[in-house]
Amino acid sequence: MNILGISAGFHDAGISLICDGEILFAAHAERYSKRKHDSEINAEILNDCFVQFGIPDRIAYYERPWLKKTRQLYAGQYKDLFDTSIEDKIRKIWPNKNPPDVEYHGHHQSHAAAGFQTSPYSDATVLVVDAIGEWDTASIWHAYYDDLGQAKYQKLWSQKYPHSLGLFYSAMTKRAGLKPLDEEYILMGMAAYAKYDANMYGDFLDSGRDLRFKQNLHVGCDEYHPGMTDFEIAASAQYTLEQCLHDLLERVSRLSLSDNLVYMGGVALNCKANERLGAYFQNIWIMPNPGDCGSSLGAAALSYGRRLNWNGPYLGTDILGPYPVKDLLSELLTKKIVGVASGRAEFGPRALGNRSLLADPRGPDIKDRVNEIKRRQQFRPFAPVILEELADEYFSMPIGFQTSPYMQCIAYCRDPKNYPAIIHADGTSRVQTVSKNCSSGIRQLLEAWYEWTGCPMLLNTSLNIRGEPMVNDRADADRFEQLYGVKVLS
Ligand SMILES: [Fe+2]
């Protein structure tokens, strides 16, 4: 039976198709509409999925709309109460206008399932931290499989709207002059350039232990300390977020449910804060798409009820043909920068080698050259992608993350002078480690690059036209080539 999971209606809409435990397809709506963080699914993404894998038998949705409406009523979001129903939205773009019935699952449980049912664990403590869904904004679960292999979820604690760590960080993103629900990752990058003010924690938190805030940050906090620079706001917001995560982890670890942590929700994308997780848990799993888009997979997983076969994040649209290792190598050796759009697109916000702009990480001028192509702020760091078996030789990895296949933690380079392009102002790097079993050709490219140069890593940043989502298909790659004069190989 084919089950289609859908997340939509707020931001970062997506779909996931599973069949008997196999994940057949998973993608972001924005990659098809070319609207960043698009909140609605579209006919193009359905078409790409259905042409390859057939029309689904069942639809699972990642939220309970009526429960959400009670929260929207409480929050005064009256306009949202009259939104078109998800059934009507689906019917409008469904190929035969006659979709199967929709079954509904809770927002946080969908996050939890997207994590637990793709994880290698038989039981786990699940922590979900996000901005806003129905009512829950942070929740702790015990997840396990029963004797029949059915996934079971026991909710042990939750905090509810308006007390929300995600909303706090988004309010600070706006206070620092950035776009909330979009540029939180830039705020995280800015945090390295100023000293934090520890008072921010007490200014906002009533009780850190219970994640209770003194004010409703859904309405923003634009007036907060006008004298603080945007960089000081960023540093202090990052400090406060990390303190709150510490408070939550203390609570989680006191429950002593399992040595395995599954961590999900949009806040799990904050790789700087994730540095703390290893102090509490031996084993950590963060599905590479822990935000709302990834919950399309969670809803489908809940409908299926059993463990999913996780083979990696390359689940989206397919650019056919072998990974162009030889040509990429030759461009890197001569021009030092090249794009690649090959194989299936990544499911998640990070380019992990199939839709990437790659560069030689050595030498002083590379960072500026890549920044110029991407036309982005000079202060922002780039990530290294490295052969997994050599990661420890080049980076001091944080406890709990012996490997980092999905760029989910930060590490410290042991030889920063030689690799300035991938070192942030605070000396950290957001490392992607690539194992021998990785299904992307990025592994073979790194092996070839290492053989030629003795350097086991490349700079890896997402291949996207400024203001647009990541490149999806060959037509996007062609536009990138024309606009920026950088080859994109398939
Ligand atoms: Fe969420």
- Quote the Cα angle for 42-44-48, to 5°: 130
Compute, in angstroms, the gap from residue 195 CA to the centroid of ligand 1: 30
Best CA proximity match to 205, nearest among 183, 231, 237 = 237
Compute, in angstroms, the gap from residue 245 CA to the centroid of ligand 1: 16
| Radius of gyration for the chain, computed over Cα atoms and rounded to the nearest angstrom | 22
Measure the CA–CA gap between 157 and 177, rounded to whole angstroms.
Answer: 34
**Above pLDDT 70, what percent of the chain?**
100
pLDDT over 70 (residue 453): yes
370 neighbors 337 (Cβ within 8 angstroms): yes
Burial class of residue 265 (count of CB atoms within 10 Å of its CB; 0-12, 13-18, 19+)? buried
pLDDT over 90 (residue 276): no
Measure the CA–CA gap between 149 and 147, rounded to whole angstroms.
Answer: 5
Give backbone dihedrals phi and psi of 162, rounded to 5 degrees, phi first.
-90, 5
Compute, in angstroms, the gap from residue 129 CA to the centroid of ligand 1: 8
Compute, in angstroms, the gap from residue 192 CA to the centroid of ligand 1: 26
Give me the mean pLDDT over the 418-424 stretch.
92
Measure the CA–CA gap between 16 and 296, rounded to whole angstroms.
Answer: 6
Measure the CA–CA gap between 168 and 468, rounded to whole angstroms.
Answer: 26
393 neighbors 271 (Cβ within 8 angstroms): no
Tokens of 365: 């001028």
Q: What is the pLDDT of residue 63?
A: 96
Q: What is the pLDDT of residue 379?
A: 73
Compute, in angstroms, the gap from residue 284 CA to the centroid of ligand 1: 19
Give me the mean pLDDT over the 268-280 stretch.
93
End-to-end Cα, the chain, rounded Å:
33
Q: What is the pLDDT of residue 295?
A: 98
115 neighbors 144 (Cβ within 8 angstroms): no
Q: How confident is the model at residue 15 (pLDDT cuts 50, 70, 90)?
A: very high
> How does pLDDT run across 106-143, given as a tens digit for each residue?
999 999 999 999 999 999 999 999 999 899 999 999 99
Measure the CA–CA gap between 262 and 259, rounded to whole angstroms.
Answer: 10
Measure the CA–CA gap between 340 and 406, rounded to whole angstroms.
Answer: 18
323 neighbors 316 (Cβ within 8 angstroms): no
**Above pLDDT 90, what percent of the chain?**
86
Measure the CA–CA gap between 190 and 40, rounded to whole angstroms.
Answer: 30
Tokens of 486: 């950088």
Q: How confident is the model at residue 208 (pLDDT cuts 50, 70, 90)?
A: low
Best CA proximity match to 486, nearest among 382, 374, 381 = 374
Within its chain, how far is the Cα of 475 from the centroid?
Answer: 25
Measure the CA–CA gap between 486 and 490, rounded to whole angstroms.
Answer: 13
> How does pLDDT run across 41-97, given as a tens digit for each residue?
999 999 999 999 999 999 999 999 999 999 999 999 888 888 889 999 999 999 988
> How does pLDDT run across 139-175, given as a tens digit for each residue?
999 999 999 999 999 999 999 999 999 999 999 999 9
Q: Which amino acid is at 399?
A: I
pLDDT over 90 (residue 331): yes
> How does pLDDT run across 234-255, given as a tens digit for each residue?
999 999 999 999 999 999 888 8
Other beta carbons within 10 Å of 300: 33
Compute, in angstroms, the gap from residue 478 CA to the centroid of ligand 1: 34
Compute, in angstroms, the gap from residue 480 CA to the centroid of ligand 1: 31
Give me the mean pLDDT over the 328-339 stretch.
95
> How does pLDDT run across 177-204, given as a tens digit for each residue?
999 988 999 999 999 999 999 999 999 9
Compute, in angstroms, the gap from residue 161 CA to the centroid of ligand 1: 12
Q: Which residue has the tokens 């019917």?
A: 91
Give me the mean pLDDT over the 19-27 stretch.
98
Compute, in angstroms, the gap from residue 48 CA to the centroid of ligand 1: 25
Three-state secondary structure string covering 12-25: CCEEEEEECCEEEE
Q: What is the pLDDT of residue 477?
A: 97
One-character DSSP codes across 230-258: HHHHHHHHHHHHHHHHHHHHHHHHHH---
Tokens of 14: 């997506």
Tokens of 434: 């690539």
Compute, in angstroms, the gap from residue 412 CA to the centroid of ligand 1: 30
> How does pLDDT run across 352-400, given as a tens digit for each residue?
999 999 999 998 889 888 988 887 777 777 999 999 999 999 999 998 8
